[in-house]
Amino acid sequence: MSAEPAIKIVKQDKAKRKQSTGKQQLRVVIVGHVDHGKSTLIGRLLYDTDSLPEGKVEEIEAICKRRGTDVVEWSFVLDAFQAERDQAVTIDSTQIWFSTDNRDYVIIDAPGHREFLKNMISGAAAADAAILVVDGAEGVQEQTRRHAYLLHLLGLQQIAVVINKMDLVNHDTEAFENVSREVREYLGSIGVTPRFIIPISARNGDMIASRGESMGWYSGKTLIEVLDSFENAALPVSRPLRFPVQDVYRFQGKRIIVGRVESGILRKGDRLMFSPGNEEATVTSLEVWPEDDDKVEARPGEAIGITLDQRLFVERGHIGSHTKNPPMLSNVFRASIFWLSQKPLKVGNSYKIRFGSHEAMVTVQSIDKVIDTQDLADQSDKSEVKRNTVAEVTLRARDLLPIDPYSDNERLGRIVMYQGYDIAGGGVISMEGYADQRRRKAPKSENIHKVEHLLNHDVRAKRAGHRGGVFWFTGLSGSGKSTLAMAVEKALFEKGFSTYVLDGDNIRHGLNRDLGFSPKDRSENIRRIGHVAALMADAGLIVLSAFISPYRADRRRARAAAGEKYNELYLAADLDICEKRDPKGLYKKARAGEIKDFTGIDSPYEKPENPEMIIDTARQDVETCVEQIVAYIERQVALGDLSDDGKDKEQVLDYVV
């Protein structure tokens, strides 16, 4: 008989448990490939911060002993199912609480096994920030990529990476650098810049709550410090009001419309409009319990009731807004989706969708892209979307739906798709290339008729060997727009692509000679460039435009002009760095007051919210940036299979009317 194995725990300096601060919580999801140590990481984080309930460590030790392991499996703190412990794999996601001096956290453990992707999404969709765990010995694996891609699709902006199991690679810097590069490359290709990359050993607790002794060469933040550097999302108070109706109650003769304010502020006395019916009425009271006459406004997230001065036909699913800035109305939209059902999504199939409380039946009009999350290639088989894949689809409804694209409203711009009783998929809405059907504006001149071209873009693209496209570089002065655009143009040209750069010099001197720098003129400047770029792209050119283009609204118009050919490339370099570079001495002049309305100094720059690509020009050299951009453009303009379904034509028509 062998003696009972002793359970080893590598001890770290133990912090005393922090009290709950009672401040706003931050939800962080831990994702990554199966077995890369996500649950272990969380278990150890709780242990090192003294956050486990009394007796938990002893309980886990006893279980480990009984199960015959000689190290503590911290994952058992989370993996509570017997099946999870037996197979050493997380099946379902879980949530657990802990606090630092700064705030309270909800940590969400997600399963890494491919089979449980639906559970990973259930966990990740609730998070404000994410930690991507990569095994330092195994490097980037299939689910590392898929999870990263999904985080991006789910709209998570704050992502940090930990390279785990550093003890298995002798805490070696080179191993760390290699895996870091691999991760960074993949993330870069989907437009994600990780905030931090940290080497850790989850099992031993190195670089989690304390630094440990094995990786003196690393001088960056520990995991806890990284968590504390994340930010809570700001409430969308300044967005247009959205109040989806959840239910209508009749209490004591009062008709109370209940729902949750998703964005904007709803006030007593506001004139509201309910889409898609478009009836209007004025809010006479906000109803809460216990009764409160002082309740005159409700902010995003609040679940309230209202009464109106008129009896409108309002029911669950209608969306209340102010009369200005209502949602769009459309019976067709595009969505980037993930599909979870065993039964593939197919063109021509109908599904129930929900966004907010609105429910509708839609038919899949086309599958526009099926993306292999491993190499990001567009799959050639577009007849169906299989389980656990991502795709871009066009969906059509019978009636007009009150729609907000995801770029305008994160909470309502996302859909869940049902198949039978089950949630089968989800995704985010894009209205690129589609016009609001609420107010079909009459064309300015009755005499302009759209001429049907006998050639279409696909035919031209076939001849040229590549598609046309607009690649819209945006960023502060000095962020590298012209430098990169010129270098990319040269690289593409040398590879045999037809390409052209639009920038200040060739536009301001001719086409836009009549425009100055007032906000109105700036806006008009960009509007014209957007249309020129769209035309050139339609003619088959790869157009690179290099303008600061600081306003979202302007860029949105450029996007609308070029439809799906538009790609926004955000050159992320903050003001400090650009001002230090100051290649043309402009910042100096602006600071001295010699130039007025200089973007970043006394005129705002509105960062892209959903660029196709973010290029970190602050930290990467020009060559790396050029390589990334060229690779991206090549993918976008590749011929793939050119469809004959007339999709391009329809989009143009939708836009022109």
Which of these segments, 256-264, 490-498, 580-588, 634-642, binds another protein (CB under 8 A)? 256-264
The CA radius of gyration of the chain, in Å to the nearest whole number, is: 27
Q: Is 549 a catalytic residue?
A: yes
What one-letter code names the amino acid at 283? V
Which of these segments, 2-10, 122-130, 507-515, 520-528, binds another protein (CB under 8 A)? 122-130
Q: Which does 73 bind (CB under 5 to 8 A by kind): ligand GTP, another protein, Mg ion, none?
A: ligand GTP
Judged by CB under 8 A, the chain residues 24 through 43 that form the site for another protein are 24-25
Q: Does 89 bind ligand GTP (CB under 6 A)?
A: yes
Q: Which of 201, 549, 603, 643 is catalytic?
A: 549
Q: Does 169 bind ligand GTP (CB under 6 A)?
A: no
Query: What's the half-sphere exposure (Cβ side, CA atoms, 13 Å) at 141?
Result: 19
Q: Which does 203 bind (CB under 5 to 8 A by kind): Mg ion, another protein, ligand GTP, none?
A: ligand GTP
The whole-angstrom separation of Cα 12 and Cα 4 is: 25
CB of 118 or CB of 467, closer to another protein: 118
Q: Report residue 530: phi and psi, to 5°.
A: -55, -40
200 closest CA partner among 133, 124, 285: 133
How many residues touch ligand GTP under the rule CB under 6 A: the total is 23
CB atoms within 10 A of CB 55: 8
554 closest CA partner among 596, 603, 606: 606
The whole-angstrom separation of Cα 409 and Cα 263 is: 8
573 closest CA partner among 539, 607, 525: 607
The whole-angstrom separation of Cα 378 and Cα 636 is: 9
Q: Does 112 bind ligand GTP (CB under 6 A)?
A: yes
What one-letter code names the amino acid at 81? F
The whole-angstrom separation of Cα 627 and Cα 475 is: 19
The token duo for 348 is 């021509």
Task: Give the x/- contact pattern for Mg ion in 409-448, rule: CB under 5 A.
Answer: ----------------------------------------
Element (H, E) at 118: helix 117-124
| DSSP, res 652 | H
Q: Does 23 bind another protein (CB under 8 A)?
A: yes
Q: Does 40 bind ligand GTP (CB under 6 A)?
A: yes
Are 281 and 321 in contact by the 8 Å Cβ rule? The answer is no
CB of 79 or CB of 368, closer to ligand GTP: 79
Q: Positive or negative, the Cα torsion across 483, 486, 492, 498?
A: positive
Task: Give the x/- contact pattern for Mg ion in 7-46, rule: CB under 5 A.
Answer: -------------------------------xx-------
Q: Does 77 bind another protein (CB under 8 A)?
A: yes
Candidate list 61, 185, 302, 378; residue touching another protein; CB under 8 A: 302
Q: Which does 82 bind (CB under 5 to 8 A by kind): another protein, Mg ion, ligand GTP, none?
A: another protein
| DSSP, res 328 | E
Q: Does 93 bind Mg ion (CB under 5 A)?
A: no
CB of 37 or CB of 480, closer to ligand GTP: 37
Instruction: Return the biggest CA–CA distance within the chain.
Output: 97
Candidate list 111, 317, 326, 427; residue touching ligand GTP; CB under 6 A: 111
Task: Give the x/- contact pattern for another protein in 321-340, rule: CB under 8 A.
Answer: -------------------x
Q: Report residue 97: phi and psi, to 5°.
A: -110, 145
Judged by CB under 6 A, the chain residues 184 through 213 that form the site for ligand GTP are 201-203
What DSSP string describes 252-282?
TTEEEEEEE--BS-EETT-EEEEETTTEEEE
Q: Does 61 bind another protein (CB under 8 A)?
A: no
Q: Does 15 bind another protein (CB under 8 A)?
A: no
Which residues here bind another protein, judged by CB under 8 A?
A: 17, 19-20, 22-25, 50-56, 63, 66, 77-78, 80-83, 91-97, 104, 106, 118-119, 121-122, 125-126, 246-247, 249, 251, 256, 258, 260, 287-290, 301-303, 305, 316, 340, 354, 414, 416, 421-423, 426
List the catalytic residues.
Answer: 549
